[in-house]
Structures are given as structure tokens and as C-alpha cells.
Copies of this chain bind each other. A is one copy, B any other.
């Protein structure tokens, strides 16, 4: 049975909400089960009714965020033609997400990749799904002659997301605001044209 957040029991919603709140300005490692329970207003035991362990809560929160993100990306891409135009929009949308959803950025960029379990989570399945979409667009661009045909698509994807992530990470660490429009423009220009004069 698909579990929609709408019909999730109130306790589960409160637990996930508490994790989100606490991640706003704390690292995952520093957040204790006792704190989560207190913030959620439930007992510690209940947490283990809904989640396998502490990390499972994190994966759950990421999954929900990523679902929203994919819905938004899908919408953002509608009506856009051309692989480069689509990539440009994806760059913009991704930066916008990181800039306006610090918790999402924190989790995916810093907190999950260091555990084996993540790669078997539902959240990671969504990441792979997004990846396939990107690779599809890149291949479309190569086939259509918009994108160079002597670069492996996976590297192009790595360049796009590596650059975005590195650019957003520092901002997140030091709580600096990110101008989505400016950042997206610079990164798109850099990746499309290269750095060489």
C-alpha cells in the first residue's frame, strides 16, 4: 500500500516534522532520539514503530523532499524545447531548491552519502530516477547536434551537478544568501562555453 503523507498517523508526521525542524540549524549527528521525541511531542518508543532507526527518519525526510522536487522539475520543464534549454532550466531549478530549502540541501549534500544504507533507500531510488532524466536530455542534445559528441554523458552530468553542489555548499555552511538567477546564469555560461578564452 502506498503510504501518502496525508493518511500517515499524526505521530509519524510529527516525528518527520521534528527532524526537519531540528535539521534547520543542526547537524544530523548532533540530533538525538530524545530530542526528536521531545520536539515532536511523542515518546521515544513511538519513533521505532515507524522508523527502523535514526537514519531511517533522515531518509524518509529526504524522500519527501525529493518527491516534491521531482514534481516541480517536471512542471518546470514543460513547454521547453531543446536539450540545452532544458539543462539550463534544470540548473536553475536545482539551485533554486538548494537556495530555498536548506534542509533538503543539507541532507542530500552532506548527511546521507556517508552511509551504506542510503544507497538502498527509496530516496536514492528517486535520485537515480532524476539521473536517468538528465542523461536522457544530454543524449537528446548529442543526437540533435546541440551538445558535443565526444564527451561521455555521465561526465557532463557530473560537471553540472558537481558545479552546482560546490557552489551552493559554501553558501549553506556559512548561511550566505544565494541569488538563484545570478548563480544559474554564471554556471550555465561556464559549463556551456567553457572557461578558456
A contacts, CB < 8 Å to B: 27-29, 84, 110-111, 113-116, 119, 145-152, 155-156, 158-159, 161-167, 169, 173, 186-187, 189-197
Count the copies. 2
Please pick, from B115, B146, B187, B197, the residue contacting A196 in the complex, using a CB distance under 8 A.
B146
Q: Are A155 and B167 in contact (CB under 8 A)?
A: yes
* Residues of B close to A115: CB separation below 8 A: 27, 29
Chain B residues near A166: list those with CB within 8 A.
158-159, 161-162, 165
**Which 10 pairs from chain A and chain B are nearest by CB?**
A162-B162, A194-B194, A162-B166, A158-B166, A110-B114, A159-B163, A193-B194, A162-B163, A192-B196, A158-B167
Complexed CA–CA distance, A151 and B28 (Å): 35
* A145 touching B197, Cβ below 8 Å: yes
What residues of B have a CB within 8 angstroms of the CB of A194 in the complex? 190-194
* Contact for A162 among B28, B150, B165, CB less than 8 A: B165
